[in-house]
């Protein structure tokens, strides 16, 4: 058994229903809305539910209930029980039905009554310690490794060679395919234009995109490549390197075409 699985078995408390578990999160978690820290804790737990992303559950005592207004809405989860909801109100800012908690545990579930959870996208900002976290809670069992490599990587848009390097950075992310990041100097800039598209990743940072315009007889491809102007510490090393969508280009590594 891997160290990660051994750790999970020791650290997590699992429900009898086999669907959910919780694990202590020792990081300081802060939630901001309307210019206020509406939650600030060092005692949050991860809630893991099969098939879903992890969620931070925060002790009620570390939530500023002065900003919460109870409402009548409820939902029922077969694995967790009946959830009650609150609106979040800070001055003239309102996030409706954005906080929930389970007052009564199910017989085969876990007691979540000491905690509440916040709807991620309705908050202004989330922090782990002093680093902002984007998109969703970070899964402690997802790992990102960036390694320098001497593999020969070529990228083609149709028949046009748009990138060629023997110094890529390879990004390995748990359960995902390898991504090849190519130094900007080894990508032909005349074939690309800036895109307005931005996406965020909780493990790597905020990505910017370039679209392929290519030679005059080439078909344009929107958002063909992306890069991170600034990265998280975990993804350090791919700053300003470009990576390509494997289903939009042909990537050749050491003479072998990658499968999509």
> Which CATH number does the domain housing residue 239 bear?
2.170.150.40
Render pLDDT for 226-255 as a digit per residue (tens, 0 to 9). Answer: 999 999 888 999 998 999 988 889 999 999
Residues 153 and 226 in one domain: yes
Residues 105 and 162 in one domain: no
State whether 111 and 34 are in the same domain.
Answer: yes
User: Do 118 and 187 belong together in one domain?
Assistant: no
Is residue 99 domain-shared with residue 158, that is, in the same domain?
no
> Mean pLDDT score of the chain, rounded to an integer?
94
Asked whether residue 122 falls in the same domain as residue 30, the answer is yes
Residues 11 and 129 both lie in one domain: yes
- What's the domain range around 187? 144-257
**Edge-to-edge, what's the strand order for the sheet holding 144-148?**
144-148, 169-173, 179-183, 241-244, 221-227, 205-212, 192-201
In this prediction, residues 178-202 reach a mean pLDDT of: 96
- CA 252 to chain CA mean position, Å: 28
Does the pLDDT of residue 1 top 60, yes or no?
A: no
Write the DSSP assignment of 142-204 as a string of letters: --EEEEE----EEEEETTEEEEEES--EEEEETTS--EEEEEGGGB-GGGEEEEEEEEEETTT
Both tokens of 43, joined, read 């005692």
Q: How many helices (H) and strands (E) does the chain have?
A: 1, 23
Tell me, yes or no, whether 148 and 64 share the same domain: no
- Please indicate, yes or no, whether residues 189 and 105 belong to a single structural domain of this protein: no
- Residues 84 and 149 grouped into a single domain: no
Our count of domains for the chain comes to: 2
Among the candidates 83, 114, 133, a domain finishes at 133
Report the pLDDT value the prediction gives residue 201, as an integer from 0 to 100: 93
Residue 25 covered by a domain: yes
- Domain-terminating residue out of 106, 133, 160: 133
More confident residue, 3 or 189: 189
Predicted local confidence at residue 5, as pLDDT = 65
Cα 60 to the center of its chain, rounded Å: 25
């Amino acid at each position: 058994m891997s160290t990660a699985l051994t750790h999970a078995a020791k650290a997590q408390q699992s429900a009898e229903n086999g669907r959910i578990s919780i694990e202590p999160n020792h990081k300081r978690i802060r939630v901001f809305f309307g210019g206020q820290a509406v939650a600030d804790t060092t005692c949050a737990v991860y809630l893991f539910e099969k098939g879903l992303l992890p969620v931070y559950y925060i002790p009620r005592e570390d939530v500023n209930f002065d900003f919460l207004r109870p409402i009548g809405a409820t939902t029922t989860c077969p694995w967790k029980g009946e959830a009650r909801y609150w609106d979040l109100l800070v001055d003239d800012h309102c996030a409706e039905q954005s906080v929930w908690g389970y007052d009564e545990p199910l017989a085969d579930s876990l007691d979540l009554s000491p905690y509440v959870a916040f709807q991620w996208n309705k908050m202004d900002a989330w922090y782990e310690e002093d680093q902002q976290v984007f998109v969703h809670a970070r899964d402690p069992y997802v790992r990102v490794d960036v390694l320098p490599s001497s593999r020969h990587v070529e990228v083609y848009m149709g028949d046009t060679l748009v990138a060629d390097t023997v110094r890529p950075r390879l990004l390995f992310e748990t359960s995902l395919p390898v991504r090849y990041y190519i130094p900007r100097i080894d990508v032909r800039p005349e074939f690309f234009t800036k895109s307005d598209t931005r996406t965020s990743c909780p493990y790597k940072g905020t990505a910017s995109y370039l679209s392929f315009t290519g030679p005059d007889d080439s078909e344009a491809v929107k958002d063909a490549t992306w890069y991170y102007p600034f990265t998280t510490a975990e993804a350090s090393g791919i700053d300003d390197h470009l990576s390509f969508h494997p289903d939009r280009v042909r990537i050749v590594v050491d003479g072998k075409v990658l499968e999509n």
